[in-house]
Amino acid sequence: MFVLAPEMTSTLQGKNTAGQVLADQDPKAARQAVAARNNGRLLDLSAPVDPQAELTPVLPGDPEALEVLRHSAAHIMAEAVKELFPGVKVAIGPAIEDGFYYDFDYERPFTPEDLPAIEDKMREIVKQNASFECEAWDRGKARQHFADQGEQFKVELIDGLEAEEVGIYRQGGFTDLCRGPHLPSTGRLGAFKLTSVAGAYWRGDEKRPMLSRIYGTAFFDKKELKQHLALIEEAKKRDHRKLGRELELFSFHDEIGAGLVVWHPRGMILRTIIENLERSEHLKRGYSMVQGPQILKRELWERSGHFDNYRENMYFTEVDEVAYGLKPMNCLAHMLIYKSKLRSYRDLPLRLFELGLVHRHEKSGVMHGLTRVRAFTQDDAHLICRPDQLETEILGVMAFVTDFMELFGFEYSLELSTRPEKSIGSDEDWERATAALTKALITSGKKYDINEGDGAFYGPKIDFKLTDALKRSWQCATIQCDFTLPERFELSYIDRDGEPKRPVMLHRVILGSIERFIGVLVEHYAGAFPLWLAPEQVRVLTVTERADEWAQEITQALIDADLRAEVDLRNEKLGAKVREAQMMKVPYMVILGDREVEERQLTPRLRNGKNLQSQTLEKFINLLKEEQAEPMRLLRQRAREGRGTEG
RNA sequence: GCCGGCGUAGCUCAGGGGUAGAGCAGCUGAUUCGUAAUCAGCAGGCCGUUGGUUCAAAUCCUACCGCCGGCUCCA
């Protein structure tokens, strides 16, 4: 039950508090409220309100409520840690997407074994039900307070603030610099759990000290916490690294090296389906296929700027005493293809597409299954065009990306990334490039965020972040505008007026890395691929060996019809065969017993456990063919419509 | 690269100073069976690699390699 602690009112300036006003408006809501919304701001219930503006309660179902709860949980955790580990220094502790964390500096890093004791201490604090009290302190006083306690991180934070007054929150014996708002009291923290420990640099800067971070999550009630933990379990089941092994798609090997994928037959057929689709879709959209070599002379990388700006990510070697670099990007060969003959303004845009294998030296701690590797294949293209064609080309790529995202059932969001610190090219070129991307974004009418300083070293970019079935987001497509490489490689075309002009270039990928994309796809579909992508589309199962002959005939007919079918003639019970096909997530099984043999029919079983009516082989093949072709039909239809609107 | 955890059979995991274990998978045989595991037998390991401590190391310590969770970076 929520009651304003009497001492809290003493800090107020004689005004009505949010809690009191809410209690007058709606006593029931006031009791449940964790904070209040007033004048577009979130307030503590103990805070004075602007009487002119509307006041609404923040109730447990609201998204902001969870943030308040988790932020308060972080404070409670910090108090617990300070009590248990004297001398520990606190850094920052925000609420995050699905929980909270707090960073600490202690004589040793925390380990998972420390967590139960911290949780127990937190429960004690929750039981004490101390109120969260907010005070506004003069910055000098606050600075002195934290300096006296040796809390150098807090001091640094205060020094970075502009305001003359800073917010100070207290609960029990713990005082923290904080903007708030917080729960009325610690007792309102319903269900929480500390989940992991990790190292984290102070302010995310590699050059600054590494702190010890404790992650946790919190909810209003135990049921929600349980659901959340179940969701994490579900995500684990979908983990592409686990499914990749179980479904025999790919593997990694110590003996081969970190971040280097080995594709097994089932994974390779999946890749091939996607790559073949890419090839045909690119050809249909006016691209040409090309391919460059894996190693190119270092001198060329120096010329492009990669040696100066990307060296630490590259692998170098020597051939006959000449230095070579293994390609981390595909653009150089494409530049030379452009330069191989004189180009007319009529030839543009030139769209060069390459499924290019690139190698990048990633730091040892960052590899992650297929989503972060050291060798990967980009569905890369370079669009070399006249300046007046730039916007149309960008829009064309955006439409291409949209078509593919819809094909796989992904949502996505857009980000515009601007000039980074380490970069090449003139200010004017960066401005022109950024303006072109911005203009295309505006024309497209799509919403986008701006990511300052996150562009490639040679140009700004639009990134597409796709969201998978578990609401996680992944970088896939990117469009990068580049005025610099055409300059460095002295690309030109002869314009209408007979004068040589400098073209502009776009770097772009649609799926990004085929490896990463397949990793994301595996998790998105939980390994149960739609028919057109399934490595094995049909498995033919016999009840007894009397059906062997019919089974082999059917299997061959399916293969002849370009379907991916396998047959299980083993001396096993049908239940065992079904189970194995089910675990491999094969979309269709075909059951063959004496009945089917006699009638020259087959009984299809779907992945969801349902049987279809027994039917002829011809009918079954038609069914599969149609289901397989449907996504492609929709893709082509969308592509045609898209082209129409672009003119 | 940094912080923490981990590395035992193809897979999932037990064993934690006295010389290696289970289930599943594999192989062999029997069984001919109707929708998520038929039965029996057999075989399988330089306990990630390398140094060291010890009479003795899968077990304790060093360093490498790799994996997992984060940080930083990124397709």
Counting every residue written for chain A, the total comes to 647
pLDDT at A3: 34
Tell me whether residue A118 is in a domain. Answer: yes
Q: State yes or no: is A361 an active-site residue.
A: no
pLDDT(A25) > 80: no
Q: State yes or no: is A152 an active-site residue.
A: no
Q: 3-class DSSP state for residue A523? A: helix
Instruction: Give the Cβ contact number of residue A490 at 10 Å.
Output: 10
Residues A354 and A495 in one domain: yes
Tell me whether residue A92 is in a domain. Answer: yes
Tell me whether residue A237 is in a domain. Answer: no
Residues A508 and A547 in one domain: no
| Interval A556-610: pLDDT, tens | 999 999 999 999 999 999 999 999 999 999 999 999 999 999 999 999 999 999 9
* Cα–Cα distance measured from residue A181 to residue A402, given in angstroms and rounded to the nearest whole number: 40
Residues A432 and A345 in one domain: yes
pLDDT(A12) > 50: no
Distances (CA, A) of A245 to A233, A240, A369, A468, A474: 18, 8, 11, 21, 22
* Cα–Cα distance measured from residue A513 to residue A355, given in angstroms and rounded to the nearest whole number: 9
Gap from A563 CA to B13 C1', in Å?
39
Residues A191 and A158 in one domain: yes
* Cα–Cα distance measured from residue A541 to residue A566, given in angstroms and rounded to the nearest whole number: 9
Residues A106 and A214 in one domain: yes
Residues A488 and A567 in one domain: no
Q: Please tell me which residue in A282, A360, A524, A539 is annotated as part of the active site.
A: A360
Cα torsion A273, A278, A284, A287: sign: negative
- Nucleotide nearest A604 (Cα, C1'): B35
Q: Please tell me which residue in A378, A389, A480, A628 is annotated as part of the active site.
A: A378
pLDDT at A11: 43
Could you tell me the CATH number of the domain that includes residue A363?
A: 3.30.930.10
Tell me whether residue A545 is in a domain. Answer: yes
Name the least confident of A7-16, A84-93, A445-454, A530-539: A7-16
**CA proximity to A533, closest of A544, A543, A525, A541:** A525
pLDDT(A644) > 80: no
* CB within 7 A of strand B (chain A, 211-240): 212-213
Q: State yes or no: is A182 an active-site residue.
A: no
Could you tell me the CATH number of the domain that includes residue A189?
A: 3.30.980.10
Could you tell me the CATH number of the domain that includes residue A625?
A: 3.40.50.800
* CB within 7 A of strand B (chain A, 565-594): 571-576, 578-579, 582-583, 589, 591, 593-594
Total domains in chain A come to: 4
Residues A498 and A354 in one domain: yes
Residues A2 and A80 in one domain: no
CA atoms within 13 A on the CB side of A19: 22
Characterize A182-200 residue by residue with b for buried, 16 or more Cβ atoms within 10 angstroms of its Cβ, and e for exposed. bbbbbbbbbbbbbbebeeb
Gap from A421 CA to B3 C1', in Å?
27
- Nucleotide nearest A253 (Cα, C1'): B66
Q: State yes or no: is A50 an active-site residue.
A: no
Tell me whether residue A34 is in a domain. Answer: yes
- Nucleotide nearest A245 (Cα, C1'): B11
Residues A323 and A355 in one domain: yes
Tell me whether residue A641 is in a domain. Answer: no
Any idea what DSSP says for residue A458?
Answer: T
* Last residue within a domain, chosen from A467, A494, A524: A524
- What does R_g of chain A's alpha carbons equal in angstroms? 31
Beta bridge partners of A451: A417
Beta bridge partners of A176: A169
Tell me whether residue A41 is in a domain. Answer: yes
Q: Please tell me which residue in A178, A331, A476, A481 is annotated as part of the active site.
A: A331
| Interval A237-252: pLDDT, tens | 899 999 999 999 999 9
Range of the domain at A185: 73-229
Q: Give A68: exposed, middle or buried? Use CB within 10 Å, 0-12, 13-18, 19+.
A: buried
Tell me whether residue A198 is in a domain. Answer: yes
Residues A488 and A583 in one domain: no
Q: State yes or no: is A461 an active-site residue.
A: yes
Residues A209 and A353 in one domain: no
Q: What is the mean pLDDT of residues A17-30?
A: 76
Beta bridge partners of A295: A326
pLDDT at A16: 76
Q: State yes or no: is A331 an active-site residue.
A: yes
* Cα–Cα distance measured from residue A602 to residue A613, given in angstroms and rounded to the nearest whole number: 9
Which bases on strand B have an atom closer than 7 Å to a protein beta carbon? 1-5, 7, 11-12, 30-38, 48, 65-75
Q: What is the mean pLDDT of residues A199-205?
A: 93
Residues A576 and A494 in one domain: no
Q: State yes or no: is A628 an active-site residue.
A: no
Gap from A138 CA to B55 C1', in Å?
71
* Last residue within a domain, chosen from A494, A524, A554: A524
What is the average pLDDT score of chain A?
91
pLDDT at A190: 85
pLDDT at A22: 75
Most confident stretch, A53-62, A173-182, A183-192, A299-308: A299-308
Q: Residue A647: CB partners within 8 Å, gap ≥ 6? A: none
